[in-house]
C-alpha cells in the first residue's frame, strides 16, 4: 500500500490528541506502537470552558495508552499561533460512549 | 477484511467521520489500516463553533475504535460489487 496509516509522519511534530475522556493534550510526538500507545514530550493540556478562555496546563513528558486515544491531529503551528485562545469558549468535549 | 478492502477503494474521496463523542470530521480519505484506523487530509470539523478543539488541525489520524459512522459520497458505493463481495465473504472466501 502506498499511503501508510501509521503515525510515522507525525513523529517529531506537534500533535493534538483528543482522548476518550474528552481531554485535549498537545505535545511533541516522540514515539508510538501498533496499539496507538504514544509518547509525548513537552506536553500540555488545553482545558475548554464556557466561562473563560482556554486554560493551558503543563504536563511535561507523557505516555498515553492507545485504548484512551480518539483522534491524533497534526497541529499546524502557523494556524495555531493565529488563534486567540483567551477568547475561545466551548463546552469540553464529551467522553467517548461505546 | 471486506470492509478494509472497501475503505481502501474509497481513498482519495471526501468523507465525513462521526465519532462516538458526537464530533464529526470531514476530510479527504488518505488511508485506512486493518483496525479501520482512518487518516484524513484537509480536515475540518463539521460544527466548528460548537467544537473549536481542532481549529489548527489539517491532517489527522482517527482511531478505528472511536468511529461511529463514516458518511460516504453518494456515488461512493458500487452496490453490485459490494453484494458480490459480501456473498463471497459469507461463503467463506
Give the CATH number, domain containing residue B15: 2.30.30.100
Could you tell me how many residues make up chain A?
A: 98
- pLDDT of the residue at B87: 93
0.80 exceeded by pTM: yes
Q: Is pLDDT of B93 > 80?
A: no
Least confident of A8-22, A31-45, B61-75, B79-93: B79-93
Asked if A90's CB is within 8 angstroms of B51's CB, the reply is yes
- pLDDT of the residue at A28: 98
B43: containing domain: 2-91
**In chain B, what is the straight-line distance between the N-terminal and C-terminal CA atoms, in Å?**
10
pLDDT tens across A39-98, in order? 999 999 999 999 999 999 999 999 999 999 999 999 999 999 999 999 999 999 999 988
- pLDDT of the residue at B44: 96
How many structural domains comprise chain B? 1
Cα A26 to its chain centre, rounded Å, is: 4
Q: Name the CA dihedral angle for A24, A29, A33, A36, rounded to a multiple of 10 degrees.
A: 10
Percentage helix, strand, coil, to 5, in chain B?
Answer: 30, 35, 35
Residues B9-37, mean pLDDT to the nearest whole number: 96
Asked if A90's CB is within 8 angstroms of B52's CB, the reply is yes
Asked if B46 reaches chain A (Cβ–Cβ under 8 Å), the answer is no
Compute the radius of gyration of chain A from its Cα atoms: 14
Asked if B33's CB is within 8 angstroms of A6's CB, the reply is yes
**All 3 cell numbers of residue B88?**
463471497
Asked if B61 reaches chain A (Cβ–Cβ under 8 Å), the answer is yes
- pLDDT of the residue at B82: 87
Sign of CA dihedral B48, B32, B67, B73: positive
Q: Where are the beta strands (DSSP E) in chain B?
A: 14-19, 24-32, 38-45, 57-62, 67-71
- pLDDT of the residue at B74: 84
Q: Which class is domain A8-87?
A: mainly beta
Asked if B11 reaches chain A (Cβ–Cβ under 8 Å), the answer is yes
Q: Is pLDDT of A1 > 70?
A: no
CA distance A28 to chain B (A): 14
Asked if A20 reaches chain B (Cβ–Cβ under 8 Å), the answer is yes
- pLDDT of the residue at A44: 97
Residue A40: other Cβ atoms inside 10 A: 23
Amino acid at each position: 500500500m502506498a499511503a501508510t496509516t501509521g503515525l510515522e509522519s507525525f513523529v517529531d511534530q506537534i500533535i493534538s490528541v483528543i482522548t476518550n475522556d474528552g481531554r485535549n493534550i498537545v505535545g511533541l510526538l516522540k514515539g508510538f506502537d501498533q496499539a496507538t500507545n504514544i509518547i509525548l514530550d513537552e506536553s500540555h493540556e488545553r482545558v475548554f470552558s464556557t466561562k473563560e478562555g482556554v486554560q493551558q496546563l503543563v504536563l511535561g513528558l507523557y505516555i498515553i495508552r492507545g485504548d484512551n486515544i480518539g483522534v491524533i491531529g497534526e497541529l499546524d503551528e502557523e494556524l495555531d499561533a493565529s488563534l486567540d485562545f483567551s477568547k475561545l469558549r466551548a463546552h469540553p468535549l464529551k467522553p467517548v460512549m461505546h | 477484511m471486506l470492509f478494509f478492502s472497501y475503505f481502501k477503494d474509497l481513498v482519495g474521496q471526501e468523507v465525513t467521520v462521526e465519532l462516538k463523542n458526537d464530533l464529526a470530521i470531514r476530510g479527504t480519505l488518505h488511508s485506512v489500516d486493518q483496525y479501520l484506523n482512518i487518516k484524513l487530509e484537509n480536515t475540518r470539523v463539521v460544527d466548528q463553533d460548537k467544537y473549536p478543539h481542532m481549529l489548527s488541525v489539517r491532517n489527522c489520524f482517527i482511531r478505528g475504535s472511536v468511529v461511529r459512522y463514516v458518511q460516504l459520497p453518494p456515488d461512493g458505493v458500487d452496490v453490485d460489487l459490494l453484494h458480490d463481495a459480501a456473498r463471497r465473504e459469507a461463503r467463506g472466501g
